[in-house]
Structure 1
Amino acid sequence: MQETNNEIINLTTDERDVVQNEITKNDKNLQEKESYLISVEELSNNNNESLKKINSPQSPSVSFSESQSSVLKTLSFKFDNNNIIDNLTDVKFNSSGIHENNNNFNYEKDKDIDVNEDINSYLPSEIRLLQDGLDKGLQKTSTQDIRPEWFDINKFKKGQEFAMKYYFGVNFAEMLSLLILFSFDDGFQPLIFTDQSGTPYTSFKRYLSTVLRVKSWFENDVFDTNSIAYYNIKIVRSMHESISKKMNSLNVNDIDDKINRLLNEKNLKCSLKNSIKEDFKSSCPFNRIYQRKTNNRILYFNQCSMSITQFGFIGLVITYPDKFGAANATDEEMEGFIHLWKTIGYLLGIEDKYNFCNGSLIDVRNRCKDLINYCVLPSFCNITNEWEHFSRCLVKGVSFYVPGNTFEISILYLCYVLNIKAKKIYSSISWLTYFRLQIFKFTLCFALRFPILLNLANKSVKSALSRAKNFSNEKLEELGEISDEFMK
């Protein structure tokens, strides 16, 4: 087996200053009109939402329509322990539970309202539950040899069948999800710290190893002690525990010093960062939801971040199957895929309480929509130079064995999936890139509905992985030279 590190990427966000309270305390009339809250509970539960009415002690009653397409007025959030305020202004949600673009939304100029409340009171219950896991590390007791009571072998096998039947789209969705997971600190910092993804060549080795390990879980019995799938679970869990132990034992300054040193050694490629941030800010319903920290520091490989890593493997393809070549998939197949990743999450040390794949297909989809609205979109408003650099290295590295994709195509396809009107990004690309993007859309949204084309696409990716696994030394040297040229 290759020894390339391939720890699963987790999430949470960068620390930055946020909008200060601009309400003039002496203006009592202004306070009377604006110091109310809207509590949003279960924002994306299939048009069955209700916006709870909350009466502020100093404000009139406020109530809104129960439809997801209702316009939400101003929602202010606050962490008492970090004195952080976030807001939501004039946000519309479509029938799928994902935000609609709102031309009236102004990220920079909108005012927050001072609220002495805990943010947890206003988040969907699923997100609140995940946040509880920010201070809890990996399960220390090994679970690899014990099948959980809820394990269903038939569902598990059905999930494996789904993964291989729609392998092309599943693979592409997983790669796009890494762009999402890179935007969160407690997943991204270990990536930089281990120094295994900062060039196209190191990314190629790392993610090829990851893809092959995940593929083994799709094809073999993860509980069979003689199988490659069992071995790969053991290796990944061991890597997580090793890196977690090392990073959580270090002083925060030591971690920052090493990360800064490694970043300073690289010529960061980040020409599109500002355009991406502006496009997401123009569409994003929230300022960023901040993470809580243990003793004012990140707990690496915590239960929350490990759980949300599961989103990276199932979230996009389950929530938007028609955009990843799985439009013909049945609910039973997708339920099986969720069960497959629920089992893998359990084996990698996620407690049942925090397992992202708990519940039915509808439950998991709604959880995905909440995560996208409350965490993913706001996080992209704060991406950094290193985020773009590592994302570019990822896509370039993957193109070494599955050619045709670029960073620009990847980020634009993600914007398409998440309903982001990427005007700034589009203005920066060539007509050739635009044409290739349309081919991607046509292939994933239409062509792969035909079984013969789906089978050909799956076969092409599997063949590419098989070739890459056996690249000659001469080929690897060639890829290293391409990577060096990219880094200049």
Structure 2
Amino acid sequence: MEIEKKTENDESNYLHNLLTDGVSTPVDVDVDAYELKLPPWYDDTKFKRAQRYFKANFFAMFVAKLCGLLVVLAIPSILDVLVYTNQSSTAVTAYKRYIATIMHTLNWYYEELLPGSASWKSIAAVRRGHVATSKRSSAKNAARIVSQKDMAVTQFGFVGYIVLGYKKLGIVYAADDMEALVHFWRVIGYMIGIQDSYNLCTDSLSGTEERMRQVQKQILRPALIARKESFEKMGRALIEGLWCFNPFLDYDAFLFLTSRLTEIPGYHYWKDEQTSAENSELKYHNFSRYSRFVLYFLLLVHEVLLGYAFFRWYLNGQMIISRFLITYFPFLAFYKFGIGDSYVRILK
């Protein structure tokens, strides 16, 4: 009981620190102020296990990350920086920004993490980008920085739904695999500049889950419910841009799926999910037929089909093909944006 109480207090302090000191603490001050290195607690076996775990659940984890990118836009401090930089407010700029994000993330999952490797260079590029963005944004408004709090919330966008919502996403669960994934993102968080005291991922799966629940309940859920007007513009640009990576995307369907993963009241789909306190009117009743079809299909895939190895293999294979095409022959982007804006390169 004493150990459990201490853990609860630690996680409560985490949220308090994140929402106080973490708001005013920048992720980095200057690119010369840090040395990119592995954390002292790095475990190569766990890191590589996490990479294998991702590959075995590529499709489901991609959808989790897409929902994570969408929910992060609801955070005012993050949204304000993105609006100011004006690098993801249209379909074409969002395409370039978020395809680059996907490419960076896949580098981390597929490449060995060693100095000089593509993965290492990718992390360095992301960290430099955060410093540059924070400097440009804070030059106009001192309060508009890329803070430790923003980085921790963004970290949730990449891994939070996987850990908390694996059942709804159809991710095959094993405690050792999930612990390895948490270690993976703890390492990535450390290397992109998240201080240990703000890192969402810890050396404990249970402790990490508690931090994630607190961030989801106290930060993400209220922000998504009371989202700013500019959220929809940026969210639609995100979905429209990433349509070139996966043409089976729809803004209304993914916003519903994101709200459902965030456990916002009223965003239920199956009858047994509805509580007596919730309005009987379903949130998707006013969707277009196409949006309702996409939503139904997504739920069918994640909650039924991904339970079968054949469908996981097939859908993971489709994601591998999508990665190849978006890198070497992004024909959907040719059609939507023209050849000149279709190729995205992250390591020049």
Instruction: Give 1:157's aligned residue.
Output: 48
- Tell me how far apart the structure 1 counterparts of residues 229 and 197 of structure 2 sit (CA, whole Å): 35
Aligned letter for 1:137? P
Instruction: Give 2:17's aligned residue.
Output: 129
Answer 1 or 2: higher relative contact order, Cα 8 Å, separation at least 6: 2
- Tell me how far apart the structure 2 counterparts of residues 414 and 330 of structure 1 sit (CA, whole Å): 23
Whether the 8 Å CA contact 2:77–2:144 is kept in 1: the answer is yes
> How much has 1:365 moved relative to structure 2?
1.2
Q: TM-score, normalised by structure 2?
A: 0.84
The DSSP-based 3-state class of the residue aligned with 2:143 is coil
Aligned letter for 2:335? E
CA 1:166–1:477 in structure 2 vs 1: closer, same or farther (change >3 Å)? Answer: closer
Matched, 1:300 2:145: yes
- Tell me how far apart the structure 1 counterparts of residues 320 and 143 of structure 2 sit (CA, whole Å): 38
> How much has 1:224 moved relative to structure 2?
2.8
> How much has 1:211 moved relative to structure 2?
0.3
Instruction: Give 2:137's aligned residue.
Output: 247
Whether the 8 Å CA contact 1:325–1:454 is kept in 2: the answer is no
- Tell me how far apart the structure 1 counterparts of residues 291 and 79 of structure 2 sit (CA, whole Å): 28
Instruction: Give 1:351's aligned residue.
Output: 195
> How much has 1:208 moved relative to structure 2?
1.1
Instruction: Give 1:235's aligned residue.
Output: 125
Matched, 1:389 2:280: no
Larger Rg: 1 or 2? 1
Deviation string for 1:413-456 (max 9, x for gaps)?
12332333144742311344323312211111121121221111
Matched, 1:309 2:167: no
Aligned letter for 1:300? I
**1:456 pairs with one of 314, 318, 325:** 314
Instruction: Give 1:478's aligned residue.
Output: 335
- Tell me how far apart the structure 1 counterparts of residues 220 and 5 of structure 2 sit (CA, whole Å): 21
RMSD after superposition: 2.4
Whether the 8 Å CA contact 1:134–1:299 is kept in 2: the answer is no
Deviation string for 1:117-158 (max 9, x for gaps)?
xxxx9x9323112122112112453241x3222111111111
**Higher percent of residues as helix:** 2
> How much has 1:343 moved relative to structure 2?
0.6
CA 1:171–1:249 in structure 2 vs 1: closer, same or farther (change >3 Å)? Answer: same
Instruction: Give 1:193's aligned residue.
Output: 84
Deviation string for 1:257-295 (max 9, x for gaps)?
xxxxxxxxxxxxxxxxxxxxxxxxxxxxxxxxxxxxxxx
> How much has 1:209 moved relative to structure 2?
1.2
- Tell me how far apart the structure 2 counterparts of residues 125 and 446 of structure 1 sit (CA, whole Å): 39
Runs of 5+ consecutive residues of structure 2 not aligned to the other structure: 268-280, 339-348
Whether the 8 Å CA contact 2:88–2:234 is kept in 1: the answer is yes
Within 5 A, what are the aligned runs for 1:9-408? 124-131=12-19, 132-139=21-28, 141-144=33-36, 146-225=37-116, 227-250=117-140, 252=141, 298-326=143-171, 328-408=172-252
Within 5 A, what are the aligned runs for 1:411-426? 411-419=255-263, 420-422=265-267, 423=281, 425-426=283-284
- Tell me how far apart the structure 2 counterparts of residues 232 and 125 of structure 1 sit (CA, whole Å): 32
Whether the 8 Å CA contact 2:18–2:198 is kept in 1: the answer is yes
Aligned letter for 1:458? N
Deviation string for 1:158-193 (max 9, x for gaps)?
111111111111111111112211111221122122
- Tell me how far apart the structure 1 counterparts of residues 158 and 247 of structure 2 sit (CA, whole Å): 21
> How much has 1:206 moved relative to structure 2?
1.5
CA 1:396–1:475 in structure 2 vs 1: closer, same or farther (change >3 Å)? Answer: closer
The DSSP-based 3-state class of the residue aligned with 2:82 is helix
- Tell me how far apart the structure 2 counterparts of residues 218 and 242 of structure 1 sit (CA, whole Å): 25
The DSSP-based 3-state class of the residue aligned with 1:353 is coil
- Tell me how far apart the structure 2 counterparts of residues 249 and 202 of structure 1 sit (CA, whole Å): 22
Runs of 5+ consecutive residues of structure 1 not aligned to the other structure: 1-44, 53-120, 253-296, 482-488
- Tell me how far apart the structure 2 counterparts of residues 304 and 476 of structure 1 sit (CA, whole Å): 34
Whether the 8 Å CA contact 1:201–1:480 is kept in 2: the answer is yes
Aligned letter for 2:27? L
The DSSP-based 3-state class of the residue aligned with 1:354 is coil
- Tell me how far apart the structure 2 counterparts of residues 309 and 476 of structure 1 sit (CA, whole Å): 26
CA 1:212–1:198 in structure 2 vs 1: closer, same or farther (change >3 Å)? Answer: same
Whether the 8 Å CA contact 1:168–1:325 is kept in 2: the answer is no
> How much has 1:299 moved relative to structure 2?
4.5
Q: TM-score, normalised by structure 1?
A: 0.61
CA 1:307–1:432 in structure 2 vs 1: closer, same or farther (change >3 Å)? Answer: closer
Instruction: Give 1:17's aligned residue.
Output: none
> How much has 1:475 moved relative to structure 2?
5.5
> How much has 1:342 moved relative to structure 2?
0.7
Identity over the aligned pairs, expressed in percent? Answer: 22
Q: State the number of aligned residues.
A: 316
Aligned letter for 1:398? L
CA 1:143–1:330 in structure 2 vs 1: closer, same or farther (change >3 Å)? Answer: farther
Instruction: Give 1:83's aligned residue.
Output: none
CA 1:165–1:475 in structure 2 vs 1: closer, same or farther (change >3 Å)? Answer: closer
- Tell me how far apart the structure 2 counterparts of residues 179 and 229 of structure 1 sit (CA, whole Å): 24
